[in-house]
Amino acid sequence: MISGIAYQAGRSDKYDAELDMLPGDRVRLNIDGIWVESALSELELGSDVGGLRLQVRFPQGQLFIPDDMAKVPDALRPKRGWLKRTEDNILLVLASVVICLLFVWLGYFHGLPAATRGIVSVLPDDVPELVAEQVMTELDKTTFQSSSLTADKQAELQQRFAGLVSQLPPMPFAPKLEFRSWEMGPNAFALSNGTVVVMDSLVALSKAPEELDSIILHELGHVYHEHVMKSVVRAGLLSVAVTVMTGESSGAIDMLAGAGTLVAVTGFSRELETEADAFSAQYMMEIYGTTAPMATMFRRLASSSDSGELPQWLSTHPDIDDRIQAVENAGMTD
């Protein structure tokens, strides 16, 4: 039995009332000694958003308002939207306000990159994983074919990859290596969850293991600096802000994955490519004591593009000569 107050249809007099749940999904209201019965499905359940209490309206017009929401069974509660869920947690609301103000402040005084960094740092942990899974699924469906590298070759490259990663600073995501093939030129991609996807044609293009390592290190530079999520967030700033505010990531994942696919295929901004080049050059020096294999690989990639497709991540930056120069300079300063 749920106690509360009730109004007769079209009347403003308030009565003490009791509501009972009956078998067969029926409810009965005792309003000042008068019994009213109705099927649960015929009740109109008012929203309790904004501090208003639950209002149960009977088809005959009576209105019942329970005293204590804690005693109201789920069947009598209106379907809850995200607004109510957010409201349930005042701390979350306050955090959202603070986060929004922070982004506005960052965006205003420090520009988009700072706002983007801020958002990336507070995104729920599962977002980069979910985005990467969807991007990979999409590319597997539309663009990639499975690798034709032998199991032995793949195992050997996996081992080299693990060896490389062990000599790098801690990564925001555990790096993973995947092999695929496609009809376009030699290439490699970084995904938001730390996965590096290497095309068979890139493996074929490299004539020494260090050459392939230099490109993998470049991709790991994207992973280290979280370039994928930063680019994806920048492309969908608004919907990500909503994700952060409501704590609900599922709605924005599709949109982020769309942006993620675009980023994977079209490459990063010039600034981020330079950052990834610098990461690769730094660790080529630390691990091999030279950046020469990296410059060689850049030249190979540039000339492979003469004979057909331009590798996407170079095509967005026609100044490959500048990049080779920068890599060689990085090798000489140490």
Q: Which stretch binds Zn ion (CB under 5 A): 53-61, 99-107, 306-314, 324-332?
A: 306-314
Pick between residue 2 and residue 294 the one whose CB is nearest to Zn ion.
294
Q: Does 314 bind Zn ion (CB under 5 A)?
A: no
DSSP class per residue in 74-101:
GGGSPPP-HHHHHHH-HHHHHHHHHHHH
CB of 310 to Zn ion, least distance (A): 14
Give the shortest CB-222-to-Zn ion separation in angstroms: 6
**Binding segment for Zn ion among 1-9, 235-243, 269-277, 324-332 (CB under 5 A)?**
269-277
CB of 228 to Zn ion, least distance (A): 10
Report the alpha-carbon distance of residue 3 to residue 7 in Å, rounded: 13
The one segment of 68-76, 138-146, 258-266, 272-280 that binds Zn ion by CB under 5 A: 272-280
Tell me the C-alpha distance between 211 and 330, whole Å. Answer: 16
Are the CB atoms for 257 and 247 separated by under 8 Å? no
Q: What is the DSSP string of 12-36?
A: --EEEEEEEEETTTEEEEEETTEEE
- State which residue, 110 or 270, has the beta carbon closest to Zn ion: 270
C-alpha span between 209 and 214 (Å, rounded) = 9
- Min CB(83)–Zn ion separation in Å: 41
**276 binds Zn ion, rule: CB under 5 A:** yes
Q: How far is the CB of 219 from Zn ion (least distance, A)?
A: 7
Nearer of residues 64 and 313 to Zn ion, judged by Cβ: 313
DSSP letter string, 151-180: HHHHHHHHHHHHHHHHTSPPPSS--EEEEE
**Of 101-109, 114-122, 143-151, 270-278, which segment contacts Zn ion by CB under 5 A?**
270-278
Residue 126: CB minimum distance to Zn ion, A: 25
In the bound state with Zn ion, the residue whose beta carbon lies nearer, of 276 and 294, is 276
Q: Does 313 bind Zn ion (CB under 5 A)?
A: yes
Q: How many CB atoms sit inside 10 A of residue 167's CB?
A: 10
Residue 9's contacts (CB-CB under 8 Å, 6 or more residues apart) are 60, 61, 62
In 3D, which of 30, 55, 36 has the Cα closest to residue 45?
55
- CA dist., res. 134 & res. 239, Å (int): 17
CB of 265 to Zn ion, least distance (A): 12
Q: Which of residues 9-68 bind Zn ion (CB under 5 A)?
A: none
CA dist., res. 220 & res. 229, Å (int): 14
State how far the Cα of 95 lies from the Cα of 107, in Å rounded to an integer. Answer: 18
Cα(72)–Cα(89) distance, integer angstroms: 20
Looking at the Cβ atoms of 103 and 313, the one nearer to Zn ion is 313
The site for Zn ion, by CB under 5 A, has a size of 3
To the nearest whole angstrom, how small is the minimum distance from the Cβ of residue 120 to Zn ion?
Answer: 18
Q: Is the CB of 118 or the CB of 213 nearer to Zn ion?
A: 213
Under the rule (CB under 5 A), what is the footprint of Zn ion?
273, 276, 313
